[in-house]
Amino acid sequence: MQIKPFRIEQYFGKYEFTAKYLLSSSDAESRAIQELLDLEPGAHDRLLKHWCGYTESPGAPDLRQAIAAIYHPLSPDDVLVVAAAEEGIFVLYHALAGPGDHIIVETPCYESGLEVARSTGAQVSEWPRSFESGWAHNVAVLEKLLQPNTKIIYINTPHNPTGLLMPAGIFKQVLDLAASRRIILFSDEVYRELEHEPATRLPAACEVYENAVSLGSMSKTYGLPGLRLGWLASRNPEILRRCLGFRYYTTICNSAPSEFLSALALRHREVLVQRNRELVLRNLQLLDAFILRRSNRFEWVRPNASPIGFVRLKPEQDVLAFCEKTVRDAGVLLLPGTVYDQPRHIRFGFGRKNMPEALAQFGAYLDSHP
Ligand SMILES: Cc1ncc(COP(=O)(O)O)c(C=O)c1O
């Protein structure tokens, strides 16, 4: 298997644990284990007694139940638990595609959505979106990309890196297109439930199309990436059976303590979502005002979901050099758009509690470097 370097994770790997201020993280504020245990009486004692043997490969029954409850109408059998969304992407592409197949990927995207698809040996086409057209989705272009051997279409909504939801009408057209040719719709929904206005939430793809797979994660909306737990949800048992078959070669089953804590967290997910949504809304106001005040240097399409947004630098300059200088001189970590092949953009993250402090630090740095 040939696979390209994962530029996003490499960049974070270089700075994430040394930079003083993180202003580009894609996850919402996390919590300590103690706070999770406080969500339910008796949880502390139950965790201490939790068995650390191998677990059931599709996922612990109570966890699959808690995940299935997110979707209507899905049952625990429609869920395969994996070691975070990253494993879900790897397993799904490799279980279902290979040389001779064609995959379409919405871009720009989280790099593994594209590069893991390529690593299967399948032919991969990008379905591109651009800042110039307000990050609009052109369904006519998607339709033209379809081939008789198109096996999978990967979409991501809410979207990394723009923080935008796919408009409901477009989502429906993409579903109809996939359904008309029985193409698997792989819908990366790791930021779902963090829409800034909950009424704008789209149905999960797995709820409305039997050949769709919804990708979920504890990492982003719920702010628990350290649990390394995610899932694939689909009403097509054959898809999940093949993913499980491949998954025996990756992790076999999940971490027992992570399953325990994830099930507990999901049973109380409104508590987690509400706190994180409040943080995101408070911080977004600050960032939006910041960008407006500095409209000679920055512009963006204001995000409407997730804790991330994609900001264009004006005038044109080397964003990689800008971000590296900012982290070195001001201790503020930004993610250069070069890692998404978008060399005029910077990804911001605004899901963390100390975001106002990080933004103030960045502002002070900019003011001293006009
Ligand atoms: C769109 C998208 N999909 C998947 C992932 C992987 O998430 P996880 O931490 O669950 O592996 C990320 C992480 O940034 C992401 O942004």
Q: Which residue has the tokens 């509690």?
A: 353
Amino acid present at 48: L
> Of ligand 1's atoms, which has the minimum distance to the CA of residue 217?
10
Distance 369 CA to ligand 1 centre (A): 34
Query: H or E stretch including 68?
Result: helix 61-68
> Of ligand 1's atoms, which has the minimum distance to the CA of residue 89?
4
Distance 263 CA to ligand 1 centre (A): 19
Residue 39 has pLDDT above 90, yes or no: yes
Q: Could you tell me which of 39, 70, 351, 67 has the C-alpha nearest to residue 193?
A: 70
Distance 190 CA to ligand 1 centre (A): 6
Q: Could you tell me which of 22, 24, 30 has the C-alpha nearest to residue 221?
A: 30
pLDDT at 316 (0 to 100): 87
Q: What share of the chain is helix, strand, coil (3-state, %, to 5)?
A: 45, 15, 40
> What domains are there in the chain, each with its CATH number?
7-32+270-367 (3.90.1150.10), 42-269 (3.40.640.10)
Average pLDDT score over the chain: 97
The SS3 call for residue 363 is helix
110 lines ligand 1 (CB under 6 A): yes
Peptide linkage before 161 cis (omega within 30 of 0): yes
Mean pLDDT throughout 222-249? 98
306 lines ligand 1 (CB under 6 A): no
Peptide linkage before 167 cis (omega within 30 of 0): no
Distance 85 CA to ligand 1 centre (A): 6
> Of ligand 1's atoms, which has the minimum distance to the CA of residue 26?
14
CB-neighbour burial class of residue 117 (10 A; exposed 0-12, middle 13-18, buried 19+)? buried
pLDDT single digits (tens) 107-152? 999 999 999 999 999 999 999 999 999 999 999 999 999 999 999 9
190 lines ligand 1 (CB under 6 A): yes
Q: Could you tell me which of 339, 318, 298 has the C-alpha nearest to residue 107?
A: 339
Distance 167 CA to ligand 1 centre (A): 21
Using CA atoms, how far residue 161 sits from 109, 301, 309, 333, in Å, is 7, 11, 6, 15
Distance 344 CA to ligand 1 centre (A): 23
> Of ligand 1's atoms, which has the minimum distance to the CA of residue 229?
10
Residue 284 has pLDDT above 90, yes or no: yes
The SS3 call for residue 259 is helix
Using CA atoms, how far residue 352 sits from 13, 156, 219, in Å, is 19, 22, 13
pLDDT single digits (tens) 236-250? 999 999 999 999 999
Mean pLDDT throughout 51-58? 98
- In this structure, the residue with its CA closest to atom 4 of ligand 1 is 85
Mean pLDDT throughout 157-178? 98
86 lines ligand 1 (CB under 6 A): yes
Distance 306 CA to ligand 1 centre (A): 12
